[in-house]
Amino acid sequence: MNKTIISLYSAVIIALASTSAIANHHKDASAPHSVIHVVTVSWKEDATPKQIQAALDSVKTLAKEYDGISRVWIRSIKAQGDRTHAFVMEFTSEQALKDYAGSDAQKKWYLSYLPYRGASTTFDITN
């Protein structure tokens, strides 16, 4: 009888542990593993609206030129403080973000962005 009770007790423990592990696996599996790179920008005083728009538009080309970027957003709806614009790049992974630093795509993009940027801050966010 004790063997039967111990066996049943063990089966219940294993079933509960399996259910918990499956629930945690599904929870983690649904969270994106991409990295959101948020940049807030203030522009140089002499930057014209046309130059600013061209710099922002050049962000859109990055997704085509760098495989590790899956999406970009460039239209700021609301801005606070001295940062007048923001844009976002979605990287496919943390490694893609790391590899982007110093890449040919970044260097090329900087040519159309850095001449007009006054200051910026970045936030890299993932799950």
Tokens representing 59? 């962000």
| Spans of all domains in the chain | 1-30, 35-125
Q: What is the pLDDT of residue 29?
A: 74
H-type alpha helices, the chain:
2-30, 49-65, 94-100, 104-113
pTM for this structure? Answer: 0.74
Among 55-59, 61-65, 122-126, whose mean pLDDT is lowest?
61-65
Cβ-Cβ contacts under 8 Å for 126 (sequence gap 6 or more): 32, 33, 34, 35, 36, 94
SS3 37: strand
For residue 115, give the nearest of 40, 38, 41, 55 by alpha carbon: 55
Is the per-residue pLDDT at 52 higher than 50?
yes
- To the nearest whole number, what is the mean pLDDT of the chain? 85
Match domain 35-125 to its CATH number in 3.30.70.100, 3.90.79.10, 3.40.50.300, 3.30.470.10.
3.30.70.100
Report residue 31's pLDDT band, with 50, 70 and 90 as the boundaries: confident
Tokens representing 4? 């039967």
